[in-house]
Structure 1
């Protein structure tokens, strides 16, 4: 009996020693790098690791080992349970860096600090281009592949607008995996609403636009006409001068937008003569909707244009334009920069 008690005590002592040594070794492996690295070497500086809904520490540890991100799945799981008692793992997509320790990886997953993705919509882009970008992003959920500009306008706006073009603010947006396209569109719509409202309050009231929406229409044309920031107020002054005197805007980008898929890469005489709701060579005043997503600079230039006596401009084929006061000056500029 005495021997049995001694044997049991010896075993218990041995287990206690092993536990202490094990916890020390686990702690060293968990928190430090060195000969026993927590993350195995891999080429990328950052990889994305997905934790599906319903995952548990064992499944996560096995997947981390399978992807070569940490060694020893079982030790991973047990150490996580030992050092982070009561912590719960959270579903999502996480960035793992090649100098992360196991403790950093698990702490990130248990805290739910997911990777932030980003997508950039450039100024002057059209709704169809936004849709294309979104459809090509692996971590954005497309709720309705058949979504149209009209349907989205119905979902987001509370006004009479029936077309989403020009109502989304072009910018870089950050989001977590699984964010829907509708969520991004709504965020961009609210950004545009706040931007136009802010600039509208500071507008030059002599500019001949009656509503913020008309300002967006004109701003979209200005956005498409020039990519040179310094030129936008001058381009705006040309169109404002034309509107004030009843001249047609005669903007080539409006022809292109009105042609849609029929645009052949070059504007032909027949295109200029074709009447569409957007062809400002054939209609008076503004087209019915914006033709693109204008940025803040184009909106500001529209509502605060410089004073000028220019009525014409022509491209110099280097991203800038020549501005003219009279048709005769304009024709000479066209002859110099376009026809030759």
Structure 2
């Protein structure tokens, strides 16, 4: 009788403890973390365990009862599945949802855009300003960057494809550049395979050079093919390209926004008023559209063009017509 009574008491106490434990568990898994309305980015550092995660969240005031988070993670088999990275935790995130997020690999992505027509110096300035990229090239001069990328023999100008690139925290500037380089190589090779026949271009690199000049010459995308046609015809005839952006590039830091007559006669390797053919290297990073235009120029007879002042150009087939256009659109200005 006494044994039955004691057993009944133990069962009663166990039931109360079980009910209390269930209420604690149920309240914990359904209660949101203490997060701001806009949510928060949380960095799970390499080597962090569920224990260190729970303790860190408790210290930040985001989580109560860290021992329960450890229990849930081990019970659900997620303790070994957590992946280092930066994650966005929206308001309303519960402990189970937290573990799901931190084991999903859906890390926060940041973006950096390489602008069409940028020079390599402009690209490196943007990379060095970026607050998220890890700066492994901080002490490296622009002239040394390609060496650090394992591309010792290549000139950097024009080698990186203009686009918006997304990346997680922890990405190095070198990794970012390698990605843009490989993208340019892929786009250039594909365009080269689809080029028109009998172009005066001996290699994909020459196409890249011409595309960079086209990119800097026009502000209207629809004109790329026409401008490419002019340059291709001039190259075939052995005519000087006579394009201002190449002169500007050759002037370097001395360019202050104006080109004077003495600049057009200044002998640099990039002065296409003095030297026939293409420039030694690209003068900017061309878009895919400029590359495709260089390799698939529009047919026509025009050999000249002049800026009309509205972003576009007037195209001429003869020098006489071109000179009239210059007087109309340039000298009056």
Partner of 2:44: 51
Unaligned runs of 5+ in 2: none
Partner of 1:223: 215
Partner of 2:328: 336
Query: In 1, are the aligned partners of 2:28 and 2:95 still within 8 Å (CA)?
Result: no
Aligned positions, number: 329
Partner of 1:208: 200
- In structure 1, C-alpha distance between the alignment counterparts of 2:325 and 2:236, rounded to whole Å: 24
Partner of 1:127: 120
- In structure 1, C-alpha distance between the alignment counterparts of 2:213 and 2:41, rounded to whole Å: 40
- What SS does the corresponding residue of 1:294 show, helix, strand or coil? coil
Distance 1:63 1:328, change over 3 A: farther
Superposition TM-score, scaled by structure 1 size: 0.86
Query: In 2, are the aligned partners of 1:238 and 1:312 still within 8 Å (CA)?
Result: yes
User: CA RMSD, aligned part only?
Assistant: 2.7
Partner of 2:276: 284
Offset from partner CA, 1:116-152 (integer Å, 9 cap, x none): 2222212111112221222222221121224345433
Partner of 2:83: 90
Unaligned runs of 5+ in 1: 30-36
Query: In 1, are the aligned partners of 2:73 and 2:99 still within 8 Å (CA)?
Result: no
Query: In 1, are the aligned partners of 2:86 and 2:108 still within 8 Å (CA)?
Result: yes
- In structure 2, C-alpha distance between the alignment counterparts of 1:183 and 1:26, rounded to whole Å: 42
2:187 pairs, out of 177, 182, 195, with 195
**Equivalences for residues 255-270 of structure 1 within 5 A:** 255-270=247-262
Structure 1 residue 14, shift from structure 2 partner: 2.9
Structure 1 residue 77, shift from structure 2 partner: 3.2
2:16 pairs, out of 14, 17, 21, with 14
Judge which range, 183-192 or 74-83, deviates more.
74-83
Query: In 1, are the aligned partners of 2:124 and 2:142 still within 8 Å (CA)?
Result: no
Query: In 1, are the aligned partners of 2:212 and 2:286 still within 8 Å (CA)?
Result: yes
- What SS does the corresponding residue of 1:271 show, helix, strand or coil? helix
Distance 1:27 1:71, change over 3 A: closer
Query: In 1, are the aligned partners of 2:29 and 2:96 still within 8 Å (CA)?
Result: no
Answer yes or no: is 1:236 the counterpart of 2:238: no
Partner of 1:25: 27
Partner of 1:33: none
